Amino acid sequence: MKGRFFILWLIWSLVGAALIYGVSGPGSKQTLMEFISMAVSISPLLGLMLALGSSKVTQQCKTWLHRDKNSIYYIAGGITLLFAIPGILTNTFNPYYTTIFAFIVLAVFGSLKKIRSETFSLGWADLALWIILWIPFDLRWTTDMLPSLGYTWWSMAISVVAVIGWYGFRNTESGYRLVPKIKDLYIALIALAGIMVVVVPPGIISGFLTFAIPEHINGSKLATHFIGLFLTVALPEELFFRGLLLRGLEKATTKKWVPMMVSSLAFGLMHWNNVSDLSTQITYVLLATIAGVGYAWAYKKSGNNLLAAILTHTLVDWIWKLLLAG
């Protein structure tokens, strides 16, 4: 595996290192070694996650994964090394957690590789692996297990494992393409407008949303926040709920409305634990479910291209944090 893949991976890794420095470097309370360990661990993951967004690169990667019988060990070993680096560099290395992580990654890749000859639909094996990857991340069990890695690392790690596992080993077409087209942008804007029209009025009436224009607007912070939402919130959530769950359900049933509603409801329920008050929980789940329908519409309207859904999701969350979170 060479050429375009390594070039894109290197470029995006360097961009990732620059982003990390811009966000965490100046004025950070981290020690120099903590910052270095984070940059060395996250940047290659970010580079891999974005490089795989090119269809030519993913095809090149996929070919290598199938041709090299040891590819599963190289990939799992590399991701495990990135998991271990922060602990090694900061003298907090935990061999027990590292071993558990390595076996989970190997088990996911090995299981998906074993069933790659089957036509993709949401079978029991796919569903079990989906749960193994998503639920511990969503409930923050992974972050609690090893706080030094943080949410950002885990969000990128599960995205990389999912793309390599389902697309590379499982031969699943989830629509993970991050090369933008004008069509994706206008579909995202239409979906954004629809979601706002449906969600904002009941959100304000119920008190869940509070419209407020910020007194001071920092352009660089807004841009950084948008990028962060895109990479660590919208991308993994759309990959799992639209690219895998919705796509898998479509292959498992002939009823067109069932996959969209089930995946959207599952997405809505994911927000239950984000707040503690019962009435707020119910409101949050309902509004998130409606938003999920909008993201699913963008995904389907773009021809099963995740970028349209990711852009829509990012814009919704960005506007919410900027104007509607009080």
pLDDT at 57: 87
pLDDT in tens, 253-305: 888 889 999 999 999 999 998 888 899 999 999 999 999 999 999 999 999 99
pLDDT in tens, 225-260: 899 999 999 999 999 999 999 999 998 888 888 999
Of the chain, the percentage scoring pLDDT greater than 90 comes to: 63
Q: Between residues 190 and 24, which one has the greater pLDDT?
A: 190
Q: Between residues 256 and 85, which one has the greater pLDDT?
A: 85
pLDDT at 27: 57
Annotate 266-290 with b (16+ C-beta within 10 A) or e (fewer): bbbebbeeeeeeeeebebbbbbbbb
DSSP three-state, residue 210: strand
User: Where does the pLDDT of residue 45 fall: very low under 50, low under 70, confident under 90, or very high at 90 and above?
Assistant: very high
> 211: alpha, beta or left, given left = phi > 0 and alpha = psi -120 to 50?
beta
pLDDT in tens, 131-148: 999 999 999 998 888 877
pLDDT at 24: 65
Burial class from Cβ neighbours inside 10 Å (0-12, 13-18, 19+) for residue 260 reads buried
DSSP conformational letter for 325: B
pLDDT at 302: 95
Asked if residue 203 lies in contact with residue 324, where contact means CB atoms within 8 angstroms, the answer is yes
Domain boundaries, the chain: 4-169, 182-324
pLDDT at 25: 55
Mean pLDDT value across residues 142-163: 90
pLDDT in tens, 171-219: 898 999 999 899 999 999 999 999 999 999 999 999 999 888 877 777 7
* Sign of the torsion formed by the C-alpha atoms of 201, 305, 189 and 178: positive
Mean pLDDT value across residues 162-173: 93
Rounded to the nearest integer, the mean pLDDT of the chain is: 90
pLDDT at 4: 73
pLDDT at 119: 80
> How far apart are the C-alpha atoms of 80 and 75, rounded to whole Å?
9
Backbone angles phi, psi at 325, to 5 degrees: -95, 5
